Amino acid sequence: MDIFNPFVIALIAAALYMAWNIGANDLANAMGTSVGSGALSLKQVILIAAVFEFCGAVFFGERVASTIANNIVPIEHIKVIDSHLVVVGMLAAILAAGFWVTLTTFYNLPVSTTHSIVGAVLGFGLVAAYHGIIPYNEIHWYVLFKIVASWLVSPLLGALIAYLLFMIVSYFILQRTDNIFAIEKKFIVFQTMTACFMAFAHGSNDVANAIGPLYAGLNVLGMNGVHIPTWIMVVGGFGMVLGLATWGYKVIQTIGNKITELTPTRGFCAEFATASVVVLHSYSSLPISTTHTLVGSVIGVGLAGGLAAVDLSVIGKIAVSWIITVPVAALTSALIFTGFMGIGI
């Protein structure tokens, strides 16, 4: 692989851009509860993320990255027909997903970067099928079905676990003390621990959204080997931490302050539930939405205080952004890919 190949440089730059977006939106979602509850400052969250996000990405991120790289569109089949199409298609997918996440972050909306990249890769595959490069039935629809199913299950599971966990904490601890403030203060330690768990879980799953297409493209350009190199994981981890540090505060405000009131006990329950669900799916090689899971968990602890404790208008805006993400990312990817091919890239 020629590191000075313009396509190699373009793929790496696009992956860094996507990773930066993930940090600004998705990683901000993951760490927003810690800031919203007052357990940690933004600087402390960035330091935690820098360590544990890297660990999750480098040591546990390959499973999901391989799914994004190989198991949505039949990359090997397209590679045999025209390897250049894979490179251009992956570049288009990364850019399409990145543009959409940048837009939603600007409007403080916690969108799913997983939905974005899966939709974008699918958009490339649909254009390839439309032009007869592959038949439509060679797109891995069953894998896509499992991914979409996990998107529906994960927020419900997160909400259920967070709700039950907070009810347990409330019954056995909060309702049996005369000094709730002191209890909440003690839970800052526990929430710091769950923030570390959350960062690790996020890195293990969502790094794939940046480096999965990058690896697929670089493999076509001469990177041999079944396993994804560590340096590619580092590119993803570095970009995500940079995104959180430079622009993550916008989405942190939505997750941390606007859905429901968060305290250290509530934040602990939401983070623990989310991280557990995400790590489980990372082990299963399924790219789920940390955003969906966390919002579900925050709603879960909010519902434990009654429906009135949850701001339904904010949830409505978030839900709309979720619904349109896949078709918007797929359409944008298809247009970019078609445009690239049209001008001879």
Residue labelled with tokens 């977006």:
21
Question: Is residue 111 scored above 60 in pLDDT?
Answer: yes
Question: Is residue 26 scored above 60 in pLDDT?
Answer: yes
Q: Report residue 119's pLDDT band, with 50, 70 and 90 as the boundaries.
A: very high
260-307: pLDDT as tens digits:
567 888 888 988 999 999 999 888 888 888 877 887 888 888 887 655
Tokens standing for residue 40: 């940690």
The pLDDT score that the predictor gives to residue 87 is 95
The domain tally of the chain equals 1
The pLDDT score that the predictor gives to residue 136 is 94
Within a domain: 104? yes
The pLDDT score that the predictor gives to residue 1 is 64
The pLDDT score that the predictor gives to residue 58 is 84
186-222: pLDDT as tens digits:
898 898 898 889 889 988 888 889 999 999 999 888 8
Burial class of residue 127 (count of CB atoms within 10 Å of its CB; 0-12, 13-18, 19+): buried
- Cβ neighbours for 33, distance < 8 A, ≥ 6 positions apart: 191, 255, 256, 262, 266, 267, 270, 271, 294, 298
Within a domain: 293? yes
Q: Report residue 315's pLDDT band, with 50, 70 and 90 as the boundaries.
A: low
Q: How far apart are CA 234 and CA 340, in angstroms?
A: 28
Within a domain: 311? yes
* Residues spanned by the domain of 266: 6-342
* Beta bridge mates, 310: 260
239-264: pLDDT as tens digits:
988 998 888 877 776 665 555 567 88
Within a domain: 1? no
The pLDDT score that the predictor gives to residue 257 is 57
The pLDDT score that the predictor gives to residue 126 is 95
Higher pLDDT, 142 or 228: 142
Within a domain: 222? yes
Q: Report residue 33's pLDDT band, with 50, 70 and 90 as the boundaries.
A: confident
Q: How far apart are CA 309 and CA 297, in angstroms?
A: 14
The pLDDT score that the predictor gives to residue 275 is 92
50-85: pLDDT as tens digits:
889 888 888 888 888 888 888 899 988 999 899 999
Model confidence, pTM: 0.85
Higher pLDDT, 164 or 227: 164
146-181: pLDDT as tens digits:
888 888 888 899 999 999 999 999 999 999 988 888
